[in-house]
Amino acid sequence: MNIRTAWEGHGRIALVTLPLLTLAALAAIVILMNFRADQDEANRRIRIADQQIAISHVISEAALEIAAGDGVDDTIRNSLVMLDRDHYGLRYGNAALGVSGEHSATAERAFAAVEPVYDELRSVADRLAAGDESAAPAVVDATGAFRGSMAGLRSLLVDDASKRSATLLRVEVVMLLLAFLTTVIVFILAPEVKRRREEHRKLSRPSRPDHLTGLIRRDPLAERLQYAIARSAKLDEYASVLVVDVDGLTEINQRFGHAAGDRLLQELATRFKEVVRASDTVARLEDDRFAILIEGNHRAEDSGRVAEKLMAALELPTAAGAHELHPSVSIGIAVAPLDGTHPDDLLENAEVAMVSAKQLGGDTYQYYSPELKALTRGRLEMLDGLRRALSSDKQLRLAFQPKVDLRSGKVTGAEALIRWSHPEQGEILPGEFIPFAEETEVILGLGEWVIERACRQVAQWDTIGLDQLQVSVNVSARQFRNGDLAEVVAKAVADAGIEASRIQVELTEGALVDDIDRARETLAELQELGVTVAIDDFGTGYSSLSYLKRFPIDALKIDRSFVQELSPNSNEAAISTAIIALAHSLDLEVVAEGVEQAHQLAMLEELGCDTVQGFLFAKALPPADLEAFVGMASSPNAAAPRLGGRYVPSY
């Protein structure tokens, strides 16, 4: 039993017990008040009895004085009046004295015993008061007898009172216990009451559907999900949640406007509803995120089939003004009870699976698995680590891979490649963390850091005479699109006090084609600054050669994958030939990267490639090693890394 259900169980018990306890407490208060009144009256009776004894003393004293020869005065008469009032008050009740005249059976008997003694006292005292001095000794005797029997009555009254106070104490203890219990239960009850009120609020004010698509939102979906989970458990079926995220909606909004993006979402909502059964639920979670609840499956893999149908429903293009859109989606699936039995858990796990589908490049679906969750966690930890590395400035450094000019054999430039020594995991290669960083704004900080460091390195090389070396930096698509690239480079160049032409920016084709007008603008800014631009990994992306003409570009880097497959008559050789010819016709420098073997170098030379870069010459090196490499490459003697006109790997 988890904490939540435990609370709910206790809450329900509390809900029943609280009214009962309140009633009990009220009854106890009434009883307590009665007891208190009784107790007060008992005390008053004892005081009156004491008073009676005291007055009878006064009468006895007066009688003795009369016997000794003093005359009869008013003392006896006055005392008798008081004695009478108190005595009958005590016996039969008197509101002014605060006594009721009701007595316990034992007290009644004691009163009956006192009665004749009192009558005797009264008759002799009356005689004395009337002036019959001979009655004085009898009065003294009678008061003595009266005191004796009054003392007996008094002790009975005291007994009675103490019995009552013991009962009172017990009632008070019970009351305290009740009060304590009520407090505890109210504390337990408070969250339950709050939850119920919340539930009631939700039910009585159905959350409004999404204004754009008319679909329900997250809260009502979670409610339906809860019922679906319970029902499928009873029927021994599966209920699954598909979280469906539209790929690249931000780009669609940017290129075609928000109205087009909105229409696309409406169209998707319609198509999704057509695909699923009427008993299934389609909801819109966020901007570009839908969720679909599927019930009544007998096999867990049925939801994968639904995902395929959803994807197939997008094959027909949708319209965005004059353009046609071919949207795709990434789908994550979580199945109850396998992947969770609580709506929040299921939705969260389906989202984890969706993110994983996205990372596979989108346009696919993924089932949730605990390993995926661990991966997501790993990704978040990696990003945190990168943020820390950026602010500590100790874990990151740049390595430089030389670029060799094929005609002169000289090192004309170097590509700056980032290196990360993680405090726990050791060296991590950029291929492992750059893709994660590119998904977030972390890549912007990272990119600025690289540009700034590269400029500082150039300034330092200037001081030791390496003033011809151009350093290229890799700029991610996100940073290019961010719009402030030229500004960032200009500042770094100015801070380091170097010529902007000493810096080259490497961009991928993807970064350029996303928003052609913006790209041309940024490239023009860079050109004005004097920074050169190379297209990285050329041949792997859109390879739309038409844009080459339209953009101010300086160099093409033929992707490693072509260079590695280079052999006479291979497709790759044909492609490389075409790329080189094309680039030269556009007056672009051609760089071949990933050159590992002598025969690749020989072919590139034959094809007229301008510059080469690869392990055949050197890996990415620390600055000092690059300096040494440049020295060897430019030395004319045989110790230089030339072999039959070719360089050999030195590192």
Interface residues toward Ca ion, by CB under 5 A = 474, 506, 536-537
Task: Write down the least CB distance from residue 647 to ligand C2E, Å.
Answer: 12
Determine which helix (DSSP H) or strand (DSSP E) holds 268, and give its type and residue range: helix 258-275
Nearer to ligand C2E, 430 or 530 (CB): 430
State how beta strands 426-428 and 323-325 pair.
unpaired
Partners of residue 426 on adjacent β-strands: 422
Q: Which of 52, 79, 149, 476 binds ligand C2E (CB under 6 A)?
A: 476
CB-wise, 79 or 504, nearer to Ca ion? 504
Sheet order of strands, 329-336 included: 281-286, 289-297, 238-246, 329-336, 364-367
Nearer to ligand C2E, 325 or 411 (CB): 411
614 forms part of the interface with ligand C2E (CB under 6 A): yes
- Alpha-carbon Rg for the chain, nearest whole angstrom, is 51
Stretch of 12-20, 160-168, 183-191, 614-622 contacting ligand C2E, by CB under 6 A:
614-622
430 is a contact residue toward ligand C2E (CB under 6 A): yes
Give the torsion sign (CA, 198, 200, 203, 204).
negative
**Residue 216 gets which letter from DSSP?**
B
Query: Binding to ligand C2E (CB under 6 A): which residues in 521-560?
Result: 536-537, 560
C-alpha torsion 38→41→46→51, nearest 10: 180
- DSSP alpha helices (H): ranges in 497-621? 509-513, 516-529, 546-550, 560-564, 571-585, 598-607
Residue from 156, 285, 372, 418 that binds ligand C2E (CB under 6 A)?
A: 418
* Residue 332 contacts ligand C2E per CB under 6 A: no
User: DSSP characters for 445-506?
Assistant: HHHHHHHHHHHHHHHHHHHTT-TT-EEEEE--HHHHHHS-HHHHHHHHHHHHT--GGGEEEE
Cβ closest to ligand C2E, residue 343 vs residue 447: 447
**Which residue of 132, 237, 596, 625 would you call a contact of ligand C2E, by CB under 6 A?**
596
Q: Which residues contact 143 (CB under 8 A, 6 or more apart)?
A: 56, 57, 59, 60, 63, 121
405 binds ligand C2E per the rule CB under 6 A: no
**For helices 442-463 and 370-392, what crossing angle results, to 10°?**
40
Size of the site for ligand C2E (CB under 6 A): 21
What is the rounded CA–CA span in Å between residue 394 and residue 423?
10
> Residue 476 binds what, of ligand C2E, Ca ion, none (CB under 5 to 8 Å, by partner type)?
ligand C2E
> Contact between 566 and ligand C2E (CB under 6 A)?
no
Is 615 among the residues that bind ligand C2E (CB under 6 A)? yes
Binding region for ligand C2E (CB under 6 A) out of 108-116, 182-190, 483-491, 594-602: 594-602
CB of 408 to ligand C2E, least distance (A): 20
The total number of residues written for the chain in this structure: 651
Q: Of 40-48, 73-81, 424-432, 520-528, which segment contacts ligand C2E by CB under 6 A?
A: 424-432
In whole angstroms, give the CA distance from residue 119 to residue 54: 18
Residue 504 touches which member of Ca ion, ligand C2E, none, C-beta under 5-8 Å by kind: none
609 binds, among ligand C2E, Ca ion, none (CB under 5 to 8 A by kind): none
With binding defined as CB under 6 A, does residue 604 bind ligand C2E? no
Q: Is 648 in the site for ligand C2E (CB under 6 A)?
A: no
Question: At its nearest, how many Å lie between Ca ion and the CB of residue 593?
Answer: 5
651 binds ligand C2E (CB under 6 A): no
Query: Is 592 buried (19+), middle (13-18) or exposed (0-12) by CB count in 10 A?
Result: buried
Residue 337, preceding peptide bond in cis (omega within 30° of 0): yes
Q: CB-wise, 42 or 418, nearer to Ca ion? A: 418
Minimum Å distance from CB 379 to Ca ion?
A: 23
Find the binder of ligand C2E among 620, 621, 626, 633 (CB under 6 A). Answer: 620
Could you tell me which residues come within 8 angstroms of residue 324 by beta carbon, excluding any fewer than 6 positions away?
317, 318
What is residue 297's three-state secondary structure?
A: strand
Binding mask 157-196 for ligand C2E (x = CB under 6 A): ----------------------------------------
Applying CB under 6 A, among 474, 522, 532, 600 the residue interacting with ligand C2E is 474
For CA atoms 92, 94, 97, 103, the dihedral sign is: positive
> Rule CB under 6 A: which of 574-593 touch ligand C2E?
593
- Residue 417 binds which entry of Ca ion, ligand C2E, none, with Cβ cut-offs from 5 to 8 Å by kind? ligand C2E
User: What are the tokens at 352?
Assistant: 């984890």
Residue ranges binding ligand C2E (CB under 6 A): 401, 417-418, 429-431, 434, 447, 450, 474, 476, 536-537, 560, 593-596, 614-615, 620
